[in-house]
Structure 1
Amino acid sequence: MEKKFFSRLSILMLSLLLVAGSISYFPKSAKAYTSGTSLDNRVIFQSFSLYMPYESNMYKILSAKGSELKDWGITDIWLPPAYRSFNMARYMEGYAIADRYDLGEFNQGPNNTRPTKYGTSDELKSMVSALHASGLKVQEDLVPNQVLGLGKREAVYVTRVDQNGNLFKNPYTTGLTTQIRADLYLAYTKGGGEGQAKYGYIKEWNKKYFNGTSVQGQGMDRVMKDSEGIPYRYFGPNNPKNHLPSWLNEAAAANKINTVDTYLSVDGWYAAKDASTSDNYWKPMLMNYDPGYLKYMKSHGYSTVDDI
């Protein structure tokens, strides 16, 4: 968005200068762009918008409009990123990348559909050929670093730092340091999609390929701990390394505890009843883990584990 904003701002400023016919507001030593061959011989058509609906037809439309765009004086078509977007992204426009190798080839779209927001990979290739045949050049926006929405979590240790690698200082306090130092964090760092698995040199992303995670802190304080601050962990039924609260004993014996790299997460699940014989009683761990949270919920009319 910043790139588009500043491009439009530059065009607006240039237009104002040309209309005014003067650059007298600039120092005599300053250089400014003026109308000329090097500036005016390219006219770029921006063929996407964040707000366009998910109709998967942009490639088809452009394929049929090449001659008309050429007649308008257009020289270049600027395309959005063709990558498969993260399904939870607001606009799914290609900037929130879920699979860098899926350009509309695999059934990974909403409701397992194949096309991206703009069409299929075959339609993309056909469109580029059609536009070239009309004498138009095609520009593709590329943002391969913006991977988002990997589907699996891993437990990692994180320290929050600023852009210079120094321990982060909280601007909303009086010089206090936010205490995130080698703390356990449950990050979505594993996955990549069918295209990644088929074409990628790295077949599946995992934590060893990343050196940072979301600054929103969405994985902080998700690991359940005992009163001494020791993380609860589950390695399997009757494993001597297990460290669990007693209310998980039945679920542990039946191997019905959801974990992230053996760590218990507050938003994880467990079989709260009849664990050895039924799958009908899975409950969130948070309902038993935090008495303060339960008290708040009950005082505001929500059910607690005692009511279920």
Structure 2
Amino acid sequence: MNATMIQFFHWYSDGDGKLYDEAAKAADYLKELGISAVWFPPAYKADGGGYSVGYDPYDLYDLGEFDQKGTIPTKYGTREQYIAACNRLQEKEISVIADIVLNHKAGGDEKEKFHAVRVNPENRQENISEPFEIESYTKFTFPGRGDQYSDFKWDFNCFSGVDYAEGEEPGIFQIIHDHGDGWEEMIDDEKGNYDYLMYNDIEHRNPFVREELNNWAVWYHDQIKFDGVRLDAVKHQSPKFYKEWLQLLRSNTGKNIFAVGEYWAPGELYLLEKYIEATEGCMSLFDSSLQHNFHQASLAGEHYDLRTIFDETLTQSNPVLSVTVVDNHDTQPLQELEAPVEYWFKPIAYALILLRESGYPCVFYPDLFGGHYTDKDKEGNDQEIFLNKVEKIEELLKARKQFAYGAQRDYFEDANCLGWVREGDNEHPVCAVVLSNKEAYEKPMEMGSQYAGKNFYDFLGWFPDEVTIDENGWGIFPVPAGNVSVWVPKPDSEIHS
């Protein structure tokens, strides 16, 4: 079966410990749609306690078990609920993808004094002070958990930088210690060096830190038996670290753990390629360039040349390591990297990631289940957002599960209307996909002489009339304006290749 992932949360997912139970209840439904993997949000206790989305991690060993940061459960539920949801999904042969946040820690328990230097936030290679003593919350002792699972305590030697110093104006302070001079080496020179992102930046050159994170990875795997990992903010971490961490995780668990990294660099394919080279292909990456193209195409409407939709994308240059998305929790409205795909274009975008042979598609939770939330925009005004379920998303997912197999032949001769044929295999029939970002079209495509006289119907249900394949194996397949159609053989017309 085709692999299909779902990001089973968004930035504004409901709290009150509902998410894990919801995922467990949805297992049969997801299986029916052909979802083969569920990506859960960060599951460990965060500085924001029961309200945090999870990207401000405090205690990696607290999966909703200890009374810390004002709560026992995380926003999404308790450890027991989490394990039960993972077990339920895996019983249905749906893999679990764990969200891994090892770039930074937040919510230290005690302050320490140490020496640091203030750097220019726009060029972190430029020191704007002499070394001086600061005091910051860099000591993590986890009083609510104690030494259970691990007795490792974090201090300033475990971090390369902080954004808080007692009595000082906010800024970025590079910590001076014995585990490396300056920042860790990154693959790009954005902001001079983009090692530092937020909170207490983890120092991966400290061998004791690496040992602890390697031990924790095996411990975490043993709790929920995850099948894959989504690696947060890899842009801000040394490629050497994750290369070693993944190698040891796979070796120590005896499993070929799937990994996808978040290196968000829309329109900068060369950076994704550079990172893949630096990590020797040990992980996939989200195709941020393709998501950017979808966003732009949805805004441009009929003026966008659909033939260029895959230009300068990872899906085109390295399809084996590309994870494709239409939207995610960072691009959704009111978020930092806001670049949502307009609603009308989403069925087209999903057809392009679900029904073609390149890339590993990831569906965004609100696109399947809808979403509703209120937050402030960049001007500080309250905005109410409704994210509607994508039209025909279930049919598109089922089309991937049932028909998107075999060799692919493209009909990309028109700027506003793309078509392609998937030739099927021994178990799955042929299918024809046609989409338009302008008016209604009819696209001639060849299905093969073995289909002469056979009838095809629109799996998405837009057209009541069928298409009959002519004696030469060609059909003329219509599509509604600004939409997509998927044409498949009538059950009594099926011929497998």
Tell me the TM-score normalised to structure 1 length: 0.49
Give the TM-score of the pair, scaled to structure 2: 0.31
Structure possessing the higher radius of gyration over alpha carbons = 1
